[in-house]
Amino acid sequence: MQHVHHAASGKVTASFLDVLSCEPPAAEVVFAAGFAGCCGAAQACRQSWYVSLRPLLSRLYPHRLCLLGGEIVESPSAFRASARVLGRVHSLDASCEVAASRGSVAWLQELPMPSCRSFMAVLACGVKVYVLGGQRPSKAPFKLRHLGFYPLASFDCFDADVQAWESLQPMPTARRGLAATFADGYIYAAGGSNCTDRLNVLERYSSKHGWETMPPLPTAREGLALVSLGQRLFAIGGLGLSGAPLKDVEVFEPPSRWTKLSSMPHGFGNCSAVSFGGKIYVFGGYSGIGSEEAWRQTALQQFDPQEQCWHALGGAALPHPRWGSAVALDAEGRLFVCGGYKELRASRHVEVLDLRRPHKGWRTGPMLPGACAGCSATSVRLPGFLR
């Protein structure tokens, strides 16, 4: 398939199919990457293209929730030394309501990942899924300080159109527990851990220049959430150098400016966040080692970047609190939370919240085919004619 390049942009290139198969705001990312030099008339008509082709695209390329990797603790211990790391990929029809009674039958098995890994970053654009970093069990004799794992620099892409994986240029910094997002046509990867120290690394990828090192995060952290709104990146929560959960919220405005914003009411490690309707939603994670409640959080918090204030959404607490879950937001504004750890045991629970009507609370989705945590999820268009 022919790819569209723009010499001046040096950003992630996009095929015509990628452009047509993206929902806003992902479509804006792809247009920024491939059509940055279009004339004003073309810019004005791009939305009409999308509107007219959307019914056809929805049939040919329906949205599916993809769940990748993760780990299972076969003999729970304080250090998860016995975790079995997975390389499986499953998908779920996210474009229609699926009855919980169907169970794991609703999940379909896709082409496995090139390698097993957990606690990696995953993001999708059009029909492509990008997988960055993560960790695998160490083949060397067990060393307590490494917790039996080593970090990965791998950067892979799954093209759903041709059903194939491609290995891209590895990240300069191998790490697990990182977060990644699209912003202004680039892929950004922030934070993480080399299994010894927490990192403040920020790197971005473009097809022309490869990986570039950007100004580091003000606060080193792993298990953070990274969300983009326009060109701005919001780094939220995570585990700091001491291992304590962080309240810190920092925003990056390219090319080089980091600014601290209003902190979260409570610190969360391994939390998750999504952006929807100009707001940021933060949930899950744990706030420290101690009581049962400290291991996982149920609250759903909303952050307004304009007013820089936090709001707790009272009727939208997670029914099954846990951390290390896979999280994805589909084109209809439905938030999926899959698997995760409740203490040191992995979960099969899937819960769904409509962010257009969060007051209606969570509903139960089809259980995962198997319990897992440290997995990642994203919403992607998979060709319907392959089913």
> What pLDDT, on a 0 to 100 scale, did the predictor assign at position 223?
95
Summarize pLDDT for 192-242 with one digit per residue, the tens: 999 999 999 999 999 888 999 999 999 999 999 999 998 999 999 999 998
**Does residue 60 have a pLDDT over 90?**
no
The contacts found for 110-114 with CB under 8 angstroms, 24 or more apart, are 110/66, 110/382, 111/158, 111/163, 111/164, 111/165, 112/87, 112/88, 113/68, 113/69, 113/87, 113/88, 113/89, 113/156, 113/165, 114/87, 114/154, 114/156, 114/165, 114/167
| Poorest-pLDDT segment among 48-57, 183-192, 203-212 | 48-57
> What pLDDT, on a 0 to 100 scale, did the predictor assign at position 144?
39
**Whole-number percent of the chain with pLDDT over 90:** 45
SS3 294: helix
**Does residue 138 have a pLDDT over 60?**
yes
**Whole-number percent of the chain with pLDDT over 70:** 74
- Range picked from 165-169, 269-273, 306-310 for highest mean pLDDT: 165-169
Cα–Cα distance between 133 and 173 in angstroms, integer?
9
> What pLDDT, on a 0 to 100 scale, did the predictor assign at position 1?
35
Q: Check residues 226 and 284 and name the one with the higher pLDDT.
A: 226
**Does residue 291 have a pLDDT over 60?**
no
**Does residue 342 have a pLDDT over 90?**
no
| Domain covering 65-386 in this structure, CATH number | 2.120.10.80
Average confidence score pLDDT of the chain: 79
Q: What does the pLDDT average to over 112-130?
A: 93
- Range picked from 125-139, 176-190, 305-319 for highest mean pLDDT: 176-190
Summarize pLDDT for 12-30 with one digit per residue, the tens: 544 444 444 444 444 333 3
Annotated domain spans of the chain: 3-59, 65-386
Confidence of residue 317 (pLDDT cuts 50, 70, 90): confident
Cα–Cα distance between 97 and 26 in angstroms, integer?
23
Q: What is the DSSP string of 234-261?
A: EEE--B-TTS-BB--EEEEETTTEEEE-
Cis bond before residue 25 (omega within 30° of 0):
yes
**Does residue 142 have a pLDDT over 50?**
no
- Range picked from 24-33, 96-105, 134-143 for highest mean pLDDT: 134-143
> What pLDDT, on a 0 to 100 scale, did the predictor assign at position 151?
95
| Poorest-pLDDT segment among 146-155, 182-191, 219-228, 257-266 | 146-155
